[in-house]
Amino acid sequence: MNKIRMEHGSGGRSTGELIEQIFAKAFSNEILSAMEDAAVVEGTPRIAVTTDSFVVTPLEFPGGDIGRLSICGTVNDLLMRGAVPKYITCGFILQEGADTVQLKRLVNSMAKTAKEAGVQIIAGDTKVVEGNGGIFINTTGVGFVPEAIDISSANGRAGDVILVSGSLGDHHAAILSSRMGIKNTITSDNAPLTDMVKKLLDENIQIRTLRDVTRGGLATVLKELAVSSGMQFEIEEGALPINLQVWDFCGLLGLDPLYMGNEGKLIALAAKEDARKALEIMRSAEYGENAAIIGEVMEPETESERGRLILKTRIGGRRVLDILQGEGLPRIC
């Protein structure tokens, strides 16, 4: 069995072999191993639920793969509402011709990442479709939300500080480098932020908002937060953590790191009096060593300042930032 064939999706013997040799082996736990139609699990009064589909190419890239990504993306979305991630379900859509050795690597990577993130994979499904060896993964996550938690994109208040958990654009730059065949040592930052969020909440930091910096990059995400909270956000260009290699890569291609996606970074809005402590906690947590305070939330003085995002540039200019426009293509000259 080296390539996925249509019969692997038949529901018969080949499907059984595929599940047994690849999925069950990697994901084995009591709930999944029961092989029932649905998983029955312990619950809590407030749960967070989210779902995401992963279609990235290449399937494996410097620093990660689609398997790791499919866990991190969903786990991080749960964390951003202050939930403790508990369960994951996964659906695989495999195109015929997919390499089973590679599939095994990706599934093992999912299992390893799930363990790291503290979630159990409790249900799964596999379908095979015609095509050209592609692998697509959907994951749905469930997390428990403690009673007192109120973390939402609308909660930013005047005086709050804006923190980011590390360098911008790494995942995006790693994927683009792979696709374009550009050799460098940029690696994806795909990572579960369980440890960081847990520590922030355990220490009772007054967190208003958490948001992971994914597609559209920091500027898009902050602009959305400014709009939902009705505040004006100001960030300092000089305070933004950006890996030098990513910076140069963007310069060469005419891309803007402010609009490049990550897969293991978060933005936190925290009460001003907790800013220092929040920064220390983030820096001491896993994947947070380059965390930084990058700006603050301001009361809008005019109607046009409401929902506005301003970047104070290094030389003292002010630039209004909007959400990402278009696709961010390389320029002509």
Partner 1 sequence: MRTMEDIASYLREYDGRTLKLMEVCGSHTAAISKFGIRGMLSPKIRLVSGPGCPVCVTPSAYIDRLLELAKEKDTCVVTFGDMLRVPGSRGSLSAARGEGASVEMVYSPLDTLKLAAENSGITYVFAAVGFETTAPVYTLLLEEAIRGGFTNIRLLTALKTMPQAIRNLMQEGGEIDGFLAPGHVCAVIGSDAFLPLAKEFQIPFAVSGFGDRELLLAIYGLVRMAKEREAAVKNFYPSVVTPQGNLIAKKKLETYFMPCDAVWRGMGNIPLSGLLLKDAYKRYDAGSASLIEDKKLNHGCRCDKILTGKLMPQECPLFGRSCTPGSPQGACMVSYEGSCYQNYLSDGGNA
Chain residues in the site for partner 1 (CB under 8 A): 180, 254, 256, 308, 310-322, 325-327, 329-333
Looking at the Cβ atoms of 75 and 176, the one nearer to partner 1 is 176
Query: Closest distance between partner 1 and the C-beta of residue 143, in Å?
Result: 35
For 297-317, b/e burial (b = at least 16 CB within 10 A) is bbeeeeeeeebbbbbbeeeee
Min dist. Cβ of residue 240 to partner 1 (A) = 13
CB of 179 to partner 1, least distance (A): 10
Q: How many CB atoms lie within 10 A of CB 195?
A: 18
Would you say 183 or 318 has its CB closer to partner 1?
318
Instruction: Pick the closer one to partner 1 by CB: 112 or 312.
Output: 312
Q: Hey, which bits of the chain come out as E strands? A: 47-54, 60-61, 64-65, 84-95, 120-129, 135-144, 161-164, 207-212, 232-236, 266-270, 292-298, 309-312, 318-321
Cα–Cα distance for residue pair 85/114, rounded to 1 Å: 10
- Residue 193 or 219: which CB sits closer to partner 1? 219
Least Å from the CB of residue 297 to partner 1: 16
> How many residues make up the chain in this entry?
333
Residue closer to partner 1 (CB basis): 230 or 238? 238
Distant-in-sequence, close-in-space partners of 266: CB < 8 Å, separation ≥ 6: 76, 79, 80, 164, 165, 193, 196, 197, 210, 211, 212, 213
Give CA–CA dist 331/67, Å, rounded: 32
Q: Which residue in this structure is represented by tokens 């072999």?
A: 17
Say how far apart CA 193 and CA 264 lie, in whole Å: 7
Supply the minimum distance, in Å, between the C-beta of residue 172 and partner 1. Answer: 15
Toward partner 1, which CB reaches closer, 59 or 250? 250
Compute the least distance from the CB of residue 300 to partner 1, in Å: 13
Q: Please, what is the minimum distance in Å from the beta carbon of residue 309 to partner 1?
A: 10
| Minimum CB distance to partner 1 smaller for 115 or for 319 | 319
Residue 99 and residue 59 in contact, taking contact as beta carbons nearer than 8 Å: no
How many Å apart are CA 228 and CA 155, to the nearest integer? 8
Which residue number, 224 or 256, has a Cβ lying nearer to partner 1? 256
What is the maximum alpha-carbon separation in the chain?
68
By beta-carbon proximity to partner 1, the closer residue of 193 and 310 is 310
Q: Considering the complex, what minimum distance in angstroms separates the CB of residue 322 from partner 1?
A: 5
Q: How far is CA 184 from CA 75, 255, 313, in A?
A: 29, 17, 28
CB of 170 to partner 1, least distance (A): 20
CB-count exposure of residue 333 (10 Å: 0-12, 13-18, 19+): exposed
User: 251: which DSSP letter?
Assistant: H
